[in-house]
Structure 1
């Protein structure tokens, strides 16, 4: 009988460790974005980053490609890789597009959701609560878990093309949302509000109330739009 056990030789082990290095660098770059070490629009010098982190240029390039895929960086001809610059108008337009699309897929998800989907969503929400209740709050974990929650809902819709567009919008907003998340977690009222929002979405899904879910998402995004319109601090980072 053939064994299913997989063994790894030394070269494969080294390759696996090398493959994880760009992810570690990517995580570090995201930390630097959130603590203000790297700022919006800043050029990302591969050689300088390699020197600072004590690694070769190859994993730095791979990490920068990861930043680009996430919408945090962009490659500019004759300049190189730099962090994105989002104007207030950019952010407003993206939120307005989200307001048009996300309630649509959430409404469809409400019609498709199963008991298994609800259990998975509640587990994601529980993990989210644990993250925001940690003594040392982590804005990056908060952002990623919030994203996981929303797309766990949207994916149930089966509207893959629309979900792909929404994901692209979230990618473009990643820089803004990381900075926003860093400040939100300093405010316990803000944390409680987000937890309540997520729970209200789950309650609407459980009740099969697609209209309520659509209205809740529209209202939440409308408040974000209103807040962004009145705020300018994020755009001078």
Structure 2
């Protein structure tokens, strides 16, 4: 009898290993992925929770365990995308010991990302809900938590402390470089004037120009010029 009891205990998973309602990260990701495909295809206004249910392969009841409504789900997608590109940019800058090298790697990575079809479609979706969800759109660009701008701001501050550059307003400098690095490609892509992703050669040309302007304004011209600085000049 004791042996049988032990067998039953082993075969019954019990509560261990189970997630509380709304706490399973895999299920949450499944819902977000399905919703993302629906929003990209239909737009926010045309998409329904039934569409998302079918695409995600879950019941409507399951969706409402994780998200209050369509707006809440859309907000989760926005936050996820912001975190993804932020972490990517942080990783890029983490291995950069010189200003010009870091700016080049950041600029190329950011420009390629911001002009990609996925991001352009996502941005158009965000713009489409700006009147209905203004706080969400402000959060996308100006989150109080870590974002692309704050990552670059931290990089600039680090090199100011090292004496490699002279910047009084590092937040402004970060904003300026981001705008220069994306050039006008992002706006052209967003509004349909540029149908295809810019070639690597053109992105390279724009980013190198942004670095020259940035260093002309903020470079410590008393510091010795490194080989990598000459490389990106």
Q: Give the TM-score band, short-chain normalised.
A: 0.3 to 0.5
Question: Normalized per residue, which structure has more helix?
Answer: 1
TM-score, with structure 2 as normaliser:
0.36
TM-score by length of 1: 0.35
